[in-house]
Structure 1
Amino acid sequence: MKVLVLNAGSSSQKTCLYYIPDDDRSEYVITELWSGSIDWSKQDGLADLKVESNGIVLEETANNEDRLTVIKQLFHYLCNGDTAVLETWQEIDFVGHRVVHGGREYQQPTWINEEVKSAIAQLASLAPSHNPVNLQGIELMEQLLPDTPQVAVFDTAFHSQIPPEAAIYPLPYRFYEDGIRRYGFHGISHQYCAEKVAKLLKQPLERLKLITCHLGNGASLAAIKNGHSIDTSMGFTPLEGLMMGTRCGSIDPGIVIHLLREQELTPEQVDKLLNKESGLKGISGISGDMRRITKEMEKGDDRAQLAFDTYVHHLVKGIASMFASLGRVDALVFTAGVGENSAVLRQAVCEKLEFLGIELDSKKNENSPRDEQIATIESSTRIFVIHTDEDSAIAQAVSQLAQGSSKTKPSS
């Protein structure tokens, strides 16, 4: 079967086409036929497109005034030009989507119908940078492939077994009953990385205690015990937790009250401030992109340095709290764009965690590690850099759902 995967983030769009055999081998055999990505974060008003297939890499810049137009431009290269791998769109058997917020109801990969789309839309207020663009992708594929079954794979699902004491907020209990609780996000990535580390360590995941650090434009931590998430930094929405590219992470909630009352900001203005204008971008005044921040640090920019130091401070505090949730940690894992590519960040974080027995091998850290262990022999905790692959994990989930069903599109 051919599975097209759409993975929309707050500042990016990744799309991959996979071939998976229709037999019992599919758990182990998956072939990437084509991949494309869009990055909206590097330049205001522009989108960077990249397509890879047939040994060819195509890159171009597009005006990003209309997000869907740019995505259609990316999809054009699936069936056209030197990167084409399909003659027609109808060769695609299934479409899988990463959907950030699934609420309490959706804890497994799910066939998409009108009811599911309605739920994704209703949950958009809890993931305003994600669920709307996830839904856009679903509706776009309905236009392009109206008869092709689509599957939603939810980022919140992996965290659904977090114990009540970690999930509940210290508010009146009725709010917990109404669904105001910690959901957690980046679950597809956290689960994939945990499984990858278990394979690299050649140990059953059920015996390991891990801390996974998904550090992209959005960032979150997960404490994983016996294969399950037992604590995580993001909460009711993806705004809680670590300082991020443009999101503030956890702040005193009284600040929000102050902004509303004393500075007379509207809820919409506060939402934009906390989600789009804070984090690295807010402190530095330069960018939410860690690559830009580190370049400006090297030039001696004080606010870029302050933004970096603040990011590290909050990340170290968060990791230490996950240690407390687990008691013992077998491996600390860095993943996603910042986690995988910023050696200076990993160095700064691990130096501040030396009191926990963590010791980084500086040479290994600087040598562009990928799916490698970078701790010293003396370190009490292994340290890994893992290339997260949410897309193949989504394709695998779609395949498993399809092979366990009649392979017909569910009714609306």
Structure 2
Amino acid sequence: MNVLVINAGSSSLKYQLLNTKTREVFAKGNAERIGIDGSFIGHSEHGGPKAKTPVELPDHRAALQEIFKLLKSVDVKIEGIGHRVVQGGWYFPESAVVTDETLAQVREVAPLAPLHNYAEADVIEICRDMYPELGNVIVPDTAFHYNMPEHAWRYALPRDVVERYHIRKYGAHGTSHRYIWRTVNEFTGGSTHKLVSCHLGSGASLCAIEDGRCMDTTMGLTPLDGLIMGTRCGTLDPATVFYLYREAGMSIDEIDTMMNKQSGLLAVSGLSSDSRDIRAAEHEGDEKCIMAISMYNYRCAQLIAEMAASMQGMDTIAFTAGTGEGSSEIRYKVCDLLGWLGVKIDPELNEIQSDDARVISAPDSAVKVLVVPTNEELMIALDVEALLS
């Protein structure tokens, strides 16, 4: 099935047209700075170089119109559209076909992810309007975590507050974690039962997966919780918010912006939110960058152990996403901190670069360690095929 996968943000739109059987990617690209001066579209076909074209994009409708024009040159019939939706809230335990009702639900839960869900709902509506003959599918990032055990998702707050405002651990990156489980399970011939999936990128989360079921994850009500990330602080004492409000005179919006966009690796290093820049400075002896990487590795190892505890053990760890796939050094240091659990990396295997899933643990490691390139677009496309065919 030929599926167009769309990932819409507040001022951006990524897309990929692929076939679910052959896994061939016919075209992919991104529209950036939507509604802002200097907007452009980067587009590539059949694995070729990306051509960047300046084009006026006043809104998402204009961006989609330009993208569909570009896709006509590919000469591939689109048979369905899959939409990545960041927050499925309390409505989506799995992916769902777009209807008037499900689209309204995406908007209803948008306060949990206001920068994403509103834009995603708008794009879904535009696609239905432009191509009413095509089926659309909602694939929420939160769906994979929906049915984790109650003791993992429930917060120790008054029940009336929890129920009235739908407060719980929702998690994120569920589509990626689900793909990692599927790939690792196939790669190991079904011998994996307790997997800790490590999605380490600018945004980062871990997921404990036991025989295909999410048992716990590190992100919470929002993606701010858990690991230290590029610009997000990760877990800290919630009273920090009250303290800054009372003592520093900061507004709730200022604290929100600081914790989501001005913290994390950027704040600790004082240099960059990109771990590659920080690692380069670390090697040159920059003390702030040394501390940033040390904190990152420590927190990652600590939370891997926490995820293992939710399953009463682990037999496999899988690293994925930009940092997880790209940094052999961070993988090595994180696993070295888990040596007390019998985790052991083979240094030579760890340095191999590949686009395929691969084992990097030593033969005598108590836990198998893999690097698995993620493919959220394929996972979304497979859901489209399953629901529309």
Superposition TM-score, scaled by structure 1 size: 0.84
Structure 1 partner of 2:75 = 86
List aligned pairs for 1:48-67, cutoff 5 A: 50-60=42-52
1:401 aligns with 2:380: no
Match of 2:70 among 73, 77, 99: 77
List aligned pairs for 1:339-378, cutoff 5 A: 339-369=324-354, 370-378=356-364
Q: Percent identity?
A: 37
Deviation at 1:14, TM superposition (A): 3.6
Which residue identity is paired with 1:170? A
List aligned pairs for 1:259-298, cutoff 5 A: 259-298=244-283
Cα displacement string for residues 305-346 of structure 1 (whole angstroms, at most 9, x for unaligned residues): 222222112111111101211222111010111111111111
Deviation at 1:115, TM superposition (A): 3.1
In the alignment, the residues of structure 1 paired with residue 347 and residue 41 of structure 2 have an alpha-carbon distance, to the nearest angstrom, of 33
Structure 1 partner of 2:285 = 300
1:212 aligns with 2:201: no
The DSSP-based 3-state class of the residue aligned with 2:170 is: coil
Structure 2 partner of 1:148 = 134
Deviation at 1:48, TM superposition (A): 8.9
Which residue identity is paired with 1:17? L
The DSSP-based 3-state class of the residue aligned with 2:223 is: coil
Deviation at 1:295, TM superposition (A): 2.6
Summarize the Cα distance change of 1:18–1:283 in structure 2 as closer, same or farther, 3 Å threshold: same
The answer as to whether partners of 1:62 and 1:70 remain within 8 angstroms in 2 is no
1:185 aligns with 2:177: no
Structure 2 partner of 1:33 = 26
Deviation at 1:292, TM superposition (A): 2.2
Pick which of 196-205 and 109-118 moved more: 109-118
In the alignment, the residues of structure 2 paired with residue 227 and residue 124 of structure 1 have an alpha-carbon distance, to the nearest angstrom, of 28
The DSSP-based 3-state class of the residue aligned with 1:286 is: coil
Summarize the Cα distance change of 1:138–1:348 in structure 2 as closer, same or farther, 3 Å threshold: same
Cα displacement string for residues 254-303 of structure 1 (whole angstroms, at most 9, x for unaligned residues): 11111222222222222211111111122223222222222332333322
In the alignment, the residues of structure 1 paired with residue 347 and residue 367 of structure 2 have an alpha-carbon distance, to the nearest angstrom, of 15
The answer as to whether partners of 1:213 and 1:221 remain within 8 angstroms in 2 is yes
Match of 2:112 among 113, 126, 136: 126
Match of 1:198 among 169, 182, 185: 185
The answer as to whether partners of 1:127 and 1:238 remain within 8 angstroms in 2 is no
Summarize the Cα distance change of 1:12–1:217 in structure 2 as closer, same or farther, 3 Å threshold: farther
Match of 2:151 among 150, 165, 170: 165
In the alignment, the residues of structure 2 paired with residue 148 and residue 60 of structure 1 have an alpha-carbon distance, to the nearest angstrom, of 28
Which residue identity is paired with 2:173? H
Q: CA RMSD in A?
A: 2.8
Structure 2 partner of 1:244 = 229
Cα displacement string for residues 386-409 of structure 1 (whole angstroms, at most 9, x for unaligned residues): 011111111110111012xxxxxx
* Aligned length, in residue pairs: 384
The answer as to whether partners of 1:48 and 1:59 remain within 8 angstroms in 2 is no
Deviation at 1:63, TM superposition (A): 9.2
The DSSP-based 3-state class of the residue aligned with 2:219 is: coil
In the alignment, the residues of structure 1 paired with residue 118 and residue 358 of structure 2 have an alpha-carbon distance, to the nearest angstrom, of 35
- Runs of 5+ consecutive residues of structure 1 not aligned to the other structure: 21-27, 404-412
Pick which of 142-151 and 97-106 moved more: 142-151
Match of 1:233 among 189, 197, 218: 218
Pick which of 228-237 and 51-60 moved more: 51-60
Structure 2 partner of 1:5 = 5
Which residue identity is paired with 1:374? I
1:97 aligns with 2:83: yes
Summarize the Cα distance change of 1:102–1:251 in structure 2 as closer, same or farther, 3 Å threshold: same
Cα displacement string for residues 135-182 of structure 1 (whole angstroms, at most 9, x for unaligned residues): 343244345435432110111111122111111111122233332111
Summarize the Cα distance change of 1:180–1:391 in structure 2 as closer, same or farther, 3 Å threshold: same
- Runs of 5+ consecutive residues of structure 2 not aligned to the other structure: none
Pick which of 344-353 and 295-304 moved more: 295-304
Cα displacement string for residues 2-25 of structure 1 (whole angstroms, at most 9, x for unaligned residues): 2100134699754211234xxxxx
Which residue identity is paired with 2:371? V
